[in-house]
Chains A and B, each alone.
Chain A
Amino acid sequence: MTAVMVAEGLAKSFGDLQAVDGVGFSINEGETYGLLGPNGAGKTTTISMIAGLLEPDEGEVRVGGDRISPRAVTPKRRMGLVPQELAIYPDLTARENLEFFGRLYGMGGVGLSQRADRVLEVVGLAERQKDLTKEFSGGMKRRLNIGIGLLHSPELLILDEPTAGVDPQSRNAILEAVEELSTAGIAVLYTTHYMEEAERLCDRVGIIDQGKIIAEGTRRELVEMVGEKDRVSITGTGPVAEVVRKLSSTVGVAEAGESESGVTLLVEDSSSHLAAILSTAAQAGMVVSGVEIEQPDLEAVFLHLTGKALRDV
């Protein structure tokens, strides 16, 4: 697999604030890479350096082998950026917006026109292409915002929190669109502070906090890296204290305790040990009315790594 983008040792400070401190990662062809972190973690600064909007203090970014900088023109052709905030002209039509940015990417003539038709189709704005975008609904503007990033068929598409402040329906449409991109072989760099989005879309995730990537890998790798266990809650009636005592010594159970409605356990690889756990509980005299298993997620990983919940930050 060839890397479309390689970032190495990126650092950037604004005055006393060290916004990004030694960030490095790479994205391969057709891969969706999630940059996950709370607001203010350095996601946007990192993306700005990758997109060639900011000159890093240290480190470098290479796209298709060419080094990126604000003045480097060639490698920028390979990338598309979808900024977090809407970045479209309200007094231009949808089509004029697309064609303007297309020209800046060096497109023109019939090629540009056909490509604009295609993108308008993809983002579902073909029928409204001649309307000024200030007449558009929020969701339509969002779709155009993403469409502009796709227009010149980039090898790498950077999406900076594309779902921030979007209603659930549009959000789902956006997520589906990103999944399609990945199937089409486009490399995607996706930043978000929504865990569930990263879990759904990303092949690999980098967790960024206070300007550093503190963990990186597939979801499974990350979970294993931090050694998180599955949480198994058994609801039922019976001699709870006795059940807890028996379960504590059962294989695979790391921790057991009483809960309001029964017993809560932390279990290593719950799928292989669940049968044994349930029979132990039954033997101890518990009438089980329900079982719930929570597998560890990126939220838990984040909590583990930083000691703070993602959404609170």
Chain B
Amino acid sequence: MKVLAIARNNLVRLFRDRSSIFFVFIFPLALILLIGLQFGGSFAPRLGVLAPSPGTVGAEIIDNLASTDGVEVVTLSDESSLKEGVERGSLGAALSLPADFDERVAAGEMSEVGFIARPGGVGAALQPVVAEVVQRSVLAANAANFVVTQDLATFEEALVTARTIEGQLPAPEVHVTTVGEALFPASLGRFDIGASSQLVLFMFITALSGAAVLIQTRELGLSRRMLVTPTSVPTIVMGEATGRFLVVAVQGLYIMAGALLIFGVDWGDPLAALAIVVVFSAVGAGAAMLLGTLFRNAEQAGGVGVIVGLGMAALGGAMLPIQLFSPTLQRIAHLTPHAWALDAFAKIRADGGIGDIGLELGALAAYALVLLLIASWRLRRSITRP
């Protein structure tokens, strides 16, 4: 009962602070929204197209580019924003059709299309893709031009014939097959990945911010005051740990529910998801207790908490999917609890149940246990010795 009283006290203090309400409850969902809006579309390089008077051929080029997978076409209206977009990296590359493009193609005259890219960038590597689409669109016109060079017909007549023949003649084919399992299945909602990443990131940061509260409690002499009441040291330690745990777990469940209701995020098996949140909260509580015993100054612990929280999140794949890491870095990543929790979420998203994430839950539980044991030992020392 006393454990619960100390724990409850922790929760009440959390909810009384308005800025913590922002960070704990409003901010994570806002970030899930922001990241969904920002990255929910695709990672495909963007190709800017400027076509003041495209005509049939130009329109065909734009259509063909737009239907190419792995490239996102953006139509722009002026040369300077095209150039600036490429220079600043908001466009991978850009294609600029001259103003008289339509006229010249219709008359069988040569014209040059500008392909703008930064040397070495992903856009520059797209050159063969763009070149292919452009040449395919102008295929019949090129054949007609050949007929004209042989003095056999006018360009207009030859173009009509060439178009007909192009439609009838079987062409050599290029067949594209994709291999492997997608990192992000097509069924994944735009908010899904962001949601589990933000969940672990914020739960951990919230947990660590509890370290400062722990230090303040000690600074204010409250721990010693509690010790004066008939409350044993293990009870106080358990109470503080339960308090941290509850704060983190409440936030975790709130983010889950919020993301589910507002953004329709699919978390997978509810029981398994709940288990991850509970065990991860325990890890957070342990980490907060440990951090709280390592520092004497609440502000310093707060600063270190932010570094550790953001740093471990980045390393654990809560900012960039771990699958994009090098193999060595992936192994290092699994030193963080974040990586294990995210692995578990990925498994239950892929229709796994609680039985499939036993390894991940076990690893997290081991973290929680070790952290709590070390922290209890240190906390016990710090409140019983002045």
A–B contact (CB under 8 angstroms): no
What residues make up the interface of B, taking CB atoms closer than 8 Å to A? none
